[in-house]
């Protein structure tokens, strides 16, 4: 990601904004569809010029014209991956101490806490 002069430096684990994610998917889609266009043009030039090894190059161009648009649409509609530890944090919530223990409740242990020391 390119930083401009007005953007702050991100030092957290925050996900990119939905707008940034959309722009990234749009760029990837345009790039992949450009590859498809190049395959189409190369295939047309090869056929008209009767190039040597035409039997090899035309299937490669055909795969590029068929497979690349399909992948472009799949990747453009893809969402970012889920946070790997999101469910773990919900499972390890400490039990409330205000009331009696529930019958059949499974005791949970809190996850270890990481301490980051600034001083040596």
Contact (Cβ atoms closer than 8 angstroms) between residue 25 and residue 78: yes
Angle between helix 54-76 and helix 18-49 axes, rounded to 10 deg: 160
The stretch 40-63 carries a mean pLDDT of 90
Domain count along the chain: 1
Please give the C-alpha separations between residue 55 and each of 2, 25, 60, 78, 81, in angstroms, as whole numbers. 43, 34, 9, 35, 40
Residue 73 counted as domain residue: yes
- pTM flag (> 0.75): no
Residue 47 counted as domain residue: yes
Decide which of 69 and 4 is more confident.
69
The stretch 15-23 carries a mean pLDDT of 85
Cα radius of gyration rounded to whole Å, the chain: 26
Range of the domain at 25: 18-79
Residue 53 counted as domain residue: yes
């Amino acid at each position: 990601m390119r930083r401009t002069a007005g953007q702050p430096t991100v030092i957290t684990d925050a996900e990119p904004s939905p707008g940034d994610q959309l722009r990234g998917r749009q760029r990837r889609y345009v790039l992949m569809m450009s590859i498809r266009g190049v395959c189409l043009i190369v295939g047309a030039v090869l056929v008209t010029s009767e190039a040597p090894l035409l039997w090899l190059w035309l299937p490669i161009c055909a795969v590029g014209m068929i497979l690349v648009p399909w992948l472009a649409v799949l990747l453009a509609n893809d969402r970012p991956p889920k946070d790997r530890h999101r469910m773990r944090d919900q499972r390890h919530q400490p039990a409330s101490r205000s009331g009696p223990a529930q019958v059949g409740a499974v005791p949970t242990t809190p996850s270890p806490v990481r301490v980051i020391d600034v001083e040596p």
